[in-house]
Structures are given as structure tokens and as C-alpha cells.
Amino acid sequence: MHREHRASPLLVALMLGGVWAPGVSFAVALEAVATQASVASAPALMHAKLWHPGIDTTAYLVSEKLDGVRAFWDGQTLRFRSGLPIAAPGWFTAALPKTALDGELWLARGQFDALSGIVRRQQPVDADWRKVHYMLFDLPGASGSFSERVQRMSALVDEVKQPWLQSVVQQRARSAAELQALLNQTVKDDGEGLVLHRANALWSPGRSDALLKLKPVPDEDGRVVAHLAGKGRYTGRLGALLMEMPDGQRFALGTGFTDAQRADPPPVGAVVTYRFRNRTLKGLPRFASFLRVRLPE
């Protein structure tokens, strides 16, 4: 399927924060953002693996998984996880301590699109940023166990004394049943899911069992490697995306698209998020469904 990929001006303007301009194709705009991200130096951060049954939940502190935009503060500059700077107002960054922080820029449950539009603008809108919270969940590079780092984050929040700077609430789940009940209540209240951080874990970048995410329907990011042509009612449009998973395996992602997305699919090279129910014995996602394009942060 060889065609120009044009997304809605509103969507792309919100997601690209000023890179997109009318008349520029989705693929070109995406390439521009990806080029900027490749030049930036991505910070070393911890990343979550998926929770699975059998893990001792009592060893972990549990918090809500916020549907926001991850933000790293290096003591001087607020950055996306790609390393690109976030155009936050001066009053916002001036209040932050001179120590590294890892957290989530967040508005409220179910407000990801609105938040994304605010934090990706090249020129920050002060009134919009007044509604944004910086929710801390770790201190990159700090010594001590996660439990100790949680105490230090609370102390930092108390010192800064800004209502928009908060530490994510951590709690214990005494059993798998209690963890499931907490997940059910979080989702019922329109939350996205849970994050589990092993209480005695030292800070270490990358993915490990020290940091886990638990959602009612798990999701994952993969890279588009090809467009598979549609058949029948989808003739002339996208049938499926050929996806490459983080481990290098490939599969066809053919559900979850609107008619507009099939007519103008994410370009080859784009990173997209897909939901799935569980995995096959080979580790491929079962019943995978397209969720959204994840542009470089």
C-alpha cells in the first residue's frame, strides 16, 4: 500500500506539539519527530515488565498506573523519556529541586489526550500548565531501597510545597486476591491499572522483575514493519499491520482500526501500542487489537 499518510490536523498537531504543519504528511511529520528523538540522549530509566501470576505480591509496593506522559527531571531540564526537552513554563521548573526525578505529568483519569496536547506544545500555555501535576514515582540513580527512596520523595515534596508536585501513593497488597481486588476497584474508578515496585530493590536502569505493571488487559509497544493489503470490504485499504515485537518476533495486527485508520494507517517505522488477552506458547500476543500510535516522547 503505497500512499501518502495524512492524519487529521488536530490529532497530529496535538501529538507532535508544533512539528506538524498543514500539508505535511503523517509519515513526514513522524520522521521529523523521530529524527529529533534520535539526536536527543535518552535518559537511563527503569522500565516495567508485565506482572504474571505466581509473583509474591507481598514483596512489592503498589501504586496506580497513571495515564499520563512520563517526564524525567535531571536537576536542570525536564525531558521526555526520549531525552527531548519538555517546554514547561519557567515557574514550573524553577520550583523543582536540583536532584534527578522520575515521574508522570498527569491531569486526571481518562485525560491523556488533553494532557498530551498541553505538554507537547513548543510554546507552553500557562493556564493549561496550572492544571498539570508532576507525580513522582522514583529518584533515578539514588542509593537505597525503593522503600527508602519513597520516603525521600515524600520529604522532597514537603520541602517544595507546591500542590502540583506530588508523590505517587504507594501501598501493600497482602495477597494475590487483595491485589486483584485493588486492580478491580482502580479500573472501576476509571484508572488504567497498577504498578508494582519491589520494596527492597535498588535503583537500576532497564527492565527487570523489580518493576511490574498490571492491567486488566495487558498492552505492549511494537514497530510497524509492513502494511498488509486488505481483502473483501477492506480491498484497497489496510488489512493488517505486520508488527515486530520487542523480542524481534513478528505478527499481523488486524483489528481495532477505524475506517479512517485503515485508509490512512500508521507508516512503516511507527511504534504503536496494542492490547492483547494473553500469549501463545511462542510468546505471540493472542487477540491483539490496535490501541494508538506512540510517537517518540
Which residue, 241, 257, 238, 253, is CA-closest to 285? 253
C-alpha cell at 63: 501504586
- Among this protein's residues, is 65 annotated catalytic? yes
Angstrom distance (rounded) from CA 38 to CA 55: 36
Which residue, 12, 42, 1, 50, is CA-closest to 278? 50
C-alpha cell at 240: 493488517
Strands 165-167 and 101-106, sheet pairing: unpaired
Among residues 65, 98, 188, 215, the one annotated as catalytic is 65
Other residues' Cβ atoms within 10 Å of the Cβ of residue 216? 14
Across-strand partners of 207? 47
Catalytic residue annotation: 65
